[in-house]
Structure 1
Amino acid sequence: MKQVVYLDEVIFVNLLMNLTVLWLTSRFTGNKLSFVRGLAAASVGCIYALVVLIPGTVVIKHILIKLTITMLMVLIAFRYKGWKKFAGDFLCLFLTGFFVGGLALGLHYLLVSNFANLSNTQLSANYHRWFVLMVTIILSFCVGNWGASIWHKRMGLIDNRVPLTVNLWGNRISVQALVDTGNHLVDPLSHYPVIIMEYEAIKPLLPNEISRLYSEGISQDGSDMLTLLSASPYAQRLRLIPFHSLGNNHGMLLGIRPDDIEVCYKNKIQRIQNVVVGIYEKKLSPGTTYRALLHPQLLAF
């Protein structure tokens, strides 16, 4: 019996599934995943899936080839950060791939009888295929959001306080930061992870023009502040960060891109440049237990 394979469907489904697996891996490992790198890594997996469909390509299906493709996807998506980190990322990607594939297969057998009742067999197959894909992605998104937070809690990444140093214009401050796995804020423009820091903590590093806006009570809306500071010489460092908090569902924080930050974690000091500090006017904790909320991706070293 001749089987018809639609190339556009194979490419589209494989890209979506590969991107889902890579995103899930980034959530559990704490790696930052840019869209460009994610798409490039997903494309490698997609090309492999297309080559497998070519008749006579038996060698390409060998387990060593599959492992090599997986390693290549890890290197493209997350870069090489030492063999231990690479091995952990590789194992997580491999297990995540089994999870997503198993989830899709389970949904297929669970729902096939319901869709088989449709009068048009071809219509049934099409609806079933796309429905399974959609549900798989939605469930994977839920696991990535809530499952990763539970995982990090079990691994002890939450409620840990780490020393954080922010360097800006040649000056520096050091505070205690709380590793917050619930902090998923990123800069909408650069997609850099965002650290939330109390205004009073970062105030010594800020220019007088920014401090004056806070003292005059203009800090309620970060977009207004950004407009007022648009002509300043440091405007290119400023960012607008959307956030949600109690009683404020559509807030805007003023953010600033520092020269770099230094994070001390597990007796290692890591200097990171690609980060944004969101300035929060209120206190983050009673007293001064911690004065910043650290994005979990910044501990992925």
Structure 2
Amino acid sequence: MTIYLDVIWFLNLCIDLLLLYITALALKRNVTHWRMILAGMVASSIVLLLFTPIAWLFYQPWMKFLFSMGIVFIAFGFRRFAFFLQNLCMFYFVTFMTGGGLFALHYFWQTEVEILEGVVISKTSGYGSTFSWLFVLIGFPLVWYFSKSQLQQVEVKQVHYDQLAEVVITINEETVEVKGLIDSGNQLHDPITRAPVMILESTALQHLLSEEQIKALTSVDSISTDLEHPFAERMRIIPYRVVGHDQQFLIALKPDYVKIKHHEQEHQIKKVLVGINASNLANDGEYQCIVHPKLLITNTGKKLA
């Protein structure tokens, strides 16, 4: 069989570049494209070196390890040992996962095989595996798409994750457990008592109130003196302003207390109001309330065991 070495080398160059870019994407590294291309060329040069008198050297495990260290060093540099080790481990992880997947697909669809001295040999072309080419053709657009469009969303979610807390609201000995987002921009207070106001989705009260009772908490117009509501004595009306709108009003409830668990600390607050919001606060349901930052500052947290 004729082997087109230049085509095989180019295929390996593309695959090595993809592996390096996927590694950078997984670790959210800022990359220098010329360094990535240089690292890919060095990595793919092993295809040519296997046809030289020193080919035996690159079959040694220690040489393979040093070679991969050189590739990672060229691509990402060396800031500190932990940084380099993380890059190297992720590069190996991506390589093994990708290589294993391509190997499995190749032999899953392979129909023509030969047995040579007890070893199963599959037939392929001298241009490289079909699935390897498909990986290159599909992989590059995907890497470009995720690096350009999705990476910012991943970073935002990580910021949100660090700002999420477990919130338990107790009203009339009934509890509401939700995820809360600690929002430094929330500075809403009760103008009379100066109690901080946190915002809660109305859907979080479904196990406590009927639909009519929940609806009554989301519209100031629905409140009247003869309203028989289980939380009537706990209702407060909070005025607030939104940019571009006139002054509006929010119905808030006075809970028995609120517990907030954040960064292995538990805060129990009594001086707080819970504003009821009719719409969902997060489209993906990641959190159901917005926590006032003052609740974590003015109340000393208790270390959780």
Larger radius of gyration: 2
Higher helix residue share: 1
**TM-score, normalization: structure 1?**
0.43
